[in-house]
Amino acid sequence: MGALLTFAMLVVAPLSACTQAVSAAGLTTNDPARPTAPAVAAVPAGPFVMGSDAAEREAAYQLDEAAYGHSRTREWGWYDNEPARRTVELADYFITRTPITNAQYAAFVRATGHPAPDVDRATWKGYRLIHPYQRTRRHAWTGAAPPAGREEHPVVLVSHADARAYAAWLTEATGRTWRLPGEREWEKAARGTDGRRFPWGGAWDPARLNSHDLGPFDTVPVGRFRNGASPFGLLDAAGQVFEWTATPSGSDGGRFIVKGGSWDDSGCGICRPAARHGRPAGLKHILIGFRLVAE
């Protein structure tokens, strides 16, 4: 716990969930030659309530039905595979307060020559998604530069491997270990310890996140919804973009759990921290970004 407190004091001061200013870029490390590291929230060791019960899942389906006017998420059993509500113990860790931004990812692209976020028309068509290919163009980069005016938006169109490559580069660049969070780590940081249904509490409130209910049907700069903060100070943990985790979905290693919901979702049963679903590791989606854990 001493190391946890030391790193918290060095990297970023503790955040009161809704009142203190948030820096999406974070504070610099002690070495001025190293790049800026993302701002992090400290999550102390101890138990938390994860998963959902029948009442929470039923409430989620009802939110979806009210928003969409149909019962497809219920019919397709979107929330039926959520782990049963229970108490889980975790060690302490740090997690970035917001998803990684285009500006933060751009430093990695410039330093390494890693391919910039993008997807070609044929690949996108092969995903068989409902979004037309043209919609991806507002998120696509030009060379090593993110789309103009979107520097502080969450980076999207990144695969699971892209996210891990960024974490490996940041580890080498800053001298501290960075990695994708496990599903349990992500969920604890997003909902706190008391098993609340949303980061801010038990009641649905579309004014506290970027979803299709009140949002622009697009990403927005990270950290805007400070009244949607989790007890540990996480922002954009509901809505905005889904986020890759390190937890496999299935036994073949080809899919990973994503969490959080997105700007495309209404309702928003899928925006609960307990909600989960798997996506192919190679998918580059306009709805999926990531945040990182620091050790």
Number of domains in the chain: 1
Q: What is the mean pLDDT of residues 164-187?
A: 97
202 has a pLDDT exceeding 80: yes
Tell whether 13 is covered by a domain. Answer: no
Other beta carbons within 10 angstroms of residue 100's beta carbon come to 24
**Average per-residue pLDDT in the chain?**
90
DSSP 180: P
Tell whether 209 is covered by a domain. Answer: yes
**Is there a contact between 219 and 262 (Cβ–Cβ < 8 Å)?**
no
Tell whether 60 is covered by a domain. Answer: yes
Tell whether 258 is covered by a domain. Answer: yes
Find the domain containing 237 and state its range: 47-89+100-294
Tell whether 268 is covered by a domain. Answer: yes
CATH number at residue 290: 3.90.1580.10
Task: Kindly state the percentage of the chain with pLDDT values over 70.
Answer: 88
Predicted pLDDT of residue 19? 27
pLDDT digits (tens, 9 = 90+) for 81-139: 999 999 999 999 999 999 999 999 999 999 999 999 999 999 999 999 999 999 999 99
Task: Kindly state the percentage of the chain with pLDDT values over 90.
Answer: 86
Other beta carbons within 10 angstroms of residue 123's beta carbon come to 13
Burial of 12 (0-12, 13-18, 19+ CB in 10 A): buried
Tell whether 236 is covered by a domain. Answer: yes
Per-residue pLDDT band for 34 (boundaries 50, 70, 90) equals low
Tell whether 196 is covered by a domain. Answer: yes
CA atoms of 157 and 184, how far apart (whole Å):
24
21 has a pLDDT exceeding 70: no
What is the number of H-type helices and E-type strands within the chain?
7, 10
Predicted pLDDT of residue 253? 79
pLDDT digits (tens, 9 = 90+) for 234-273: 999 999 999 999 999 987 879 999 999 999 999 999 999 9
Q: What is the mean pLDDT of residues 164-188?
A: 97
Tell whether 135 is covered by a domain. Answer: yes
CA atoms of 236 and 229, how far apart (whole Å):
7
